């Protein structure tokens, strides 16, 4: 039985690869819908990018919804400096023919979780947590019905990427992150600690081109664009690939290792806003609310990605 998921996303090249990985794996993953959130770029462009990726995948059966246009309490901060003006610079993907659904993405999340049997819907969050938090606030009854929240966000041993203390997804909407991490649903987080091990070296990026289909070529073009910022910043042999870790975890959890611990979100301090404070060594008696994934097998990760992208058009 395929696992039913909702993908909440701000595409973003790495989001796009995560979406393609999920859509290439229908035997294991049933994507109930994709909800766009403001993050890497503005909501409208992120939603359009999600439509483009669904069309690229050939999975025109998957619906796309628009969620929240800005964080719960703060002004939106975007990341065009990493992802380009469109948020999906790199490949020249055609204007989407698919249209957005009319209901709000937050209502789609609520309705789906209420409709489906308890503990059968997993929320996969690849951007700021605004939509998930708003769904939990608007419909607290869904909390115990959620099977699991698997999210890309945060950092602890690896420290931040948008500030010295914070990772981008959490930094953009720290109040939303606090709401999600305090909700009580099972949470598995993919922080920079593990995504910074998943480096897209030239060989690994070339393997996508070598697949020979349009999806592989698009993935190589996406990573070839978004890697520029990180290669310059970190000087590593490849750029980290963040969001596909969420979907890879659903497909092959054995690739990843971590431990359950307490994770709290800083929302008050301007200096450390959005920091995920992980009590990894259990030095407090704070509730152990998240599985903090600290490491992963990069070769297995990229082998999975390449093999699944090859299944697409």
Burial of 231 (0-12, 13-18, 19+ CB in 10 A): middle
Show the tokens assigned to 195: 């995504």
Q: Does 15 bind Ca ion (CB under 5 A)?
A: yes
Q: Does 127 bind Ca ion (CB under 5 A)?
A: yes
| Active-site position among 83, 104, 196, 242 | 242
Kindly tell me which of 18 and 63 has the beta carbon lying closer to Ca ion.
18
Burial of 287 (0-12, 13-18, 19+ CB in 10 A): middle
| Residue of closest CB approach to ligand RIB | 12
> Mask of contacts with ligand RIB, 220-249, x by CB under 6 A?
----------------------xx------
Tell me which of Ca ion, ligand RIB, none is bound by residue 222, counting a contact when its beta carbon lies within the kind-specific cut-off of 5 to 8 angstroms: none
Which residues, 164 to 203, sit near ligand RIB by CB under 6 A?
167-169
Under 8 Å between Cβ of 35 and 67: yes
Whether 81 is catalytic: no
Q: Does 12 bind ligand RIB (CB under 6 A)?
A: yes
Under 8 Å between Cβ of 223 and 250: no
Distance CA(219)–CA(200), nearest Å, equals 11
Which residues, 224 to 263, sit near Ca ion by CB under 5 A?
243
Distance CA(224)–CA(17), nearest Å, equals 13
Q: Does 47 bind ligand RIB (CB under 6 A)?
A: no
Kindly tell me which of 84 and 127 has the beta carbon lying closer to Ca ion.
127
Show the tokens assigned to 129: 């947590």
**Is the preceding omega at residue 12 within 30 degrees of 0, hence cis?**
yes
Q: How far is the CB of 120 from ligand RIB (least distance, A)?
A: 25
Give residues with Cβ within 8 angstroms of 19, minimum separation 6. 7, 9, 11, 34, 50, 53, 54, 57
Which residues, 255 to 274, sit near ligand RIB by CB under 6 A?
none
Show the tokens assigned to 147: 């099977």
Q: How far is the CB of 7 from ligand RIB (least distance, A)?
A: 12
Tell me which of ligand RIB, Ca ion, none is bound by residue 168, counting a contact when its beta carbon lies within the kind-specific cut-off of 5 to 8 angstroms: ligand RIB
Which residues, 98 to 127, sit near ligand RIB by CB under 6 A?
126-127
Give residues with Cβ within 8 angstroms of 161, minimum separation 6. 155, 167, 168, 192
Kindly tell me which of 169 and 289 has the beta carbon lying closer to ligand RIB.
169
Query: Which residues are 7's β-sheet partners?
Result: 34, 124
Kindly tell me which of 126 and 211 has the beta carbon lying closer to ligand RIB.
126
Tell me which of Ca ion, ligand RIB, none is bound by residue 161, counting a contact when its beta carbon lies within the kind-specific cut-off of 5 to 8 angstroms: ligand RIB
Closest CA to 46 of 232, 141, 195, 172: 172
Site residues for ligand RIB per CB under 6 A: 10, 12, 14-15, 39-40, 126-127, 152, 161, 167-169, 242-243
Site residues for Ca ion per CB under 5 A: 10, 12, 15, 126-127, 243
Q: Active-site residues: which are they?
A: 242
């Amino acid at each position: 039985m395929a696992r039913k998921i909702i993908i909440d996303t701000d595409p973003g090249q790495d989001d796009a690869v995560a979406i393609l990985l999920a859509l290439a794996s229908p035997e294991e993953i049933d994507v109930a819908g994709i909800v766009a959130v403001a993050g890497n770029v503005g909501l409208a462009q992120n939603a359009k990018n999600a439509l483009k990726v669904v069309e690229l995948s050939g999975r025109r059966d998957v619906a796309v919804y628009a969620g929240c246009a800005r964080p719960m309490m703060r002004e939106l901060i975007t990341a065009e400096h990493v992802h380009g003006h469109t948020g999906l610079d790199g490949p020249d993907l055609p204007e989407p023919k698919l249209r957005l659904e009319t209901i709000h993405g937050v209502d789609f999340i609520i309705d789906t979780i209420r409709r489906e049997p308890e503990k059968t819907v997993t929320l996969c969050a690849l951007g700021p947590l605004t939509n998930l938090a708003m769904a939990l606030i608007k419909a607290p009854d869904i909390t115990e019905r959620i099977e699991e929240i698997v999210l890309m966000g945060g950092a602890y041993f690896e420290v931040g990427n948008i500030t010295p203390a914070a990772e981008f997804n959490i930094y953009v909407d720290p109040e939303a992150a606090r709401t999600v991490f305090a909700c009580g649903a099972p949470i598995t987080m993919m922080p920079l600690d593990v995504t910074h091990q998943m480096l897209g070296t030239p060989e690994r990026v070339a393997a996508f081109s070598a697949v020979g289909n349009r999806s592989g070529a698009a993935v190589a073009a996406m990573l070839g664009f978004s890697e520029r910022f990180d290669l310059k910043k970190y000087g590593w042999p490849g750029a980290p690939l963040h969001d596909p870790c969420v979907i890879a975890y659903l497909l092959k959890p054995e690739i990843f290792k971590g431990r359950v611990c307490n994770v709290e979100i800083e929302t008050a301090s301007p200096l450390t806003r959005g920091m995920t404070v992980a009590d990894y060594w259990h030095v407090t008696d704070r509730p152990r609310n998240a599985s903090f994934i600290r490491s992963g097998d990069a070769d297995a990760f990229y082998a999975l990605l390449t093999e699944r992208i090859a299944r697409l058009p």
